[in-house]
Amino acid sequence: MHNLSHHLKDAPVSAWIGILIVIFYAVLALGAPFFAPFAESASVGKQYMPWASPHYLGTDALGRDVLSRLIYGARNTVGIALVTTALAFTLGATFGLLAATIGGWFDAISSRVVDVLMAIPPLIFALLILTITGTSVIALILVIAILDSTRVFRLSRAVAQGILTMDYIEVARMRGEGMFWLIRKEVLPNAAAPLIAEFGLRFCFVFLFISALSFLGLGIQPPTADWGGMVRESAKLISFANFATFQTATFGLAPLLPAGAIALLTIGVNLVVDWVLHMSSGLKE
């Protein structure tokens, strides 16, 4: 803990901006019912109302409050992305570390399975599976987690292989330590920094992937608010934008709001990840 506050004090401005953005989203997502002025999927006004009180960001095609849906969207999109990334890491890191430590046949088989999974373009693969299984949230999480765990597998295996050549591993092996102890106590603490950095990046990709699937209609299903879906629903509005007055011009902004929310979080997470990577690389400049 002392170490963390020590690092935070040293953090560059960019990292601080990233941390603030991430905290902002986290607070919004956690307290969505508290912050959102209206319910997530209730029609509360006329269709396509311009930006004016009480609908500060207008309403959508069904008369739902856009601001409320954006806030709930943070909860849904980010929440699902987080669960998916965590699952992908549990899967990928477990198998990656095991493959590196056990080696031999286990490594050979799991690596080839991962190769096969990676050979299929992920979007096509996800579309295929989701068409077969139907688009439930559980199926969405599982499919994306398995696809993403292949990347995590590769990284954790490579990192662990580097660590396993160190003398302290040999010392532990000479002592006769079991494999579980080796992985948990000797390898994992040293692999943590690159894995945490990868977690941030993976999270962005998962979250963009979910948005992309939602945009294609196979992601999070309506009426649940979701940024990718919101972009799709309001995409055509952009052609109705009329820049004569501010009120009519806001139609052009409608699809940009959820897209901007996606972009801003991606940037924020990446700023934090950059900083973590920099720390773990040990560079001083």
Partner 1 sequence: MTDLLLEMKDIRIEGRSDRQWKPIIKGVNLTLNRGEILGLIGESGAGKSTLGLAAMGYTKGGCRISGGSIHFDGQDLVGASNEALRQLRGARIAYVAQSAAAAFNPAYRLIDQYCEAPVKHGVMSRADAQSDAVELYRKIRLPNPEDIGFRYPHQVSGGQLQRAMTAMAMACRPDLIIFDEPTTALDVTTQIEVLAAIRDIVREYNTAAIYITHDLAVVAQMADKIKVLLRGEEVEEAPARDMLANPQQDYTKSLWAVRDFRRAPPAARHVDEGPLLEIRDMTAGYGAVDILKGINLTITRGSTVAVVGESGSGKSTMARVVMGLLPPSSGSLHYNGAALPKSGKQRPRDLQRHIQMIHQMADTALNPKHRIKDIIGRPLEFFLGLKGRAKDVRIRELLTLIELDPDEFINRMPSELSGGQKQRVCIARALAAEPDFIICDEVTSALDQLVAEGILRLLDRLQREMDLTYMFITHDIATVRSIADEVVVMQNGVIVEQGAKETIFSPPHAPYTELLLSSVPEMDPDWLAGLLKERGAMVTSEEQL
Query: Does 180 interact with partner 1 (rule: CB under 8 A)?
Result: no
Query: Does 184 interact with partner 1 (rule: CB under 8 A)?
Result: no
Long-range contacts of 192-199 (CB under 8 A, 24+ apart): 193/276, 193/279, 193/280, 194/155, 194/159, 194/277, 194/280, 195/89, 195/93, 195/152, 195/155, 195/156, 195/159, 196/276, 196/280, 197/273, 197/276, 197/277, 197/280, 198/151, 198/152, 198/155, 199/85, 199/89
Quick one: which of 117, 283, 266, 260 has its CA closest to 201? Answer: 266
Quick one: which of 38, 29, 42 has its CA closest to 76? Answer: 29
Name which position in 177, 252, 260, 280 contacts partner 1 (CB under 8 A).
177
Query: Does 2 interact with partner 1 (rule: CB under 8 A)?
Result: no
Name which position in 42, 113, 171, 263 contacts partner 1 (CB under 8 A).
171
Stretch that binds partner 1, among 15-23, 170-178, 204-212, 227-235 (CB under 8 A): 170-178
| Closer of 3 and 53 to partner 1 (Cβ) | 3
| Closer of 53 and 165 to partner 1 (Cβ) | 165
Query: Between the CA of residue 182 and those of 19, 72, 105, 106, what are the distances in Å?
Result: 33, 43, 19, 17
Taking the complex as a whole, the smallest distance from the CB of residue 285 to partner 1 amounts, in Å, to 5
Quick one: which of 93, 105, 81 has its CA closest to 212? Answer: 81
Query: Does 189 interact with partner 1 (rule: CB under 8 A)?
Result: yes
Q: Total binding residues for partner 1 by CB under 8 A?
A: 19
| Closer of 124 and 285 to partner 1 (Cβ) | 285
Verify cis geometry, omega within 30 degrees of 0, for the bond prior to 223: yes
DSSP 184: I
Per-residue contact string for residues 121-160; x = within reach of partner 1 by CB under 8 A: ----------------------------------------
| Closer of 174 and 244 to partner 1 (Cβ) | 174
Per-residue contact string for residues 45-64; x = within reach of partner 1 by CB under 8 A: --------------------
Query: Does 174 interact with partner 1 (rule: CB under 8 A)?
Result: yes
Q: Which residues contact 157 (CB under 8 A, 6 or more apart)?
A: 96, 97, 99, 100, 107, 111
Query: Does 9 interact with partner 1 (rule: CB under 8 A)?
Result: yes
Query: Does 115 interact with partner 1 (rule: CB under 8 A)?
Result: no
Query: Does 168 interact with partner 1 (rule: CB under 8 A)?
Result: yes
Check if the beta carbon of residue 82 is closer than 8 Å to that of residue 203: yes
Taking the complex as a whole, the smallest distance from the CB of residue 90 to partner 1 amounts, in Å, to 21
Query: Does 15 interact with partner 1 (rule: CB under 8 A)?
Result: no
Residue 190 token pair: 């040293």
Angstrom distance (rounded) from CA 52 to CA 86: 40
Name which position in 111, 190, 221, 280 contacts partner 1 (CB under 8 A).
190
Angstrom distance (rounded) from CA 99 to CA 111: 8
Name which position in 13, 167, 244, 245 contacts partner 1 (CB under 8 A).
167
User: Which residues bind to partner 1, rule: CB under 8 A?
Assistant: 9-10, 166-168, 170-171, 173-177, 185-186, 189-190, 283-285
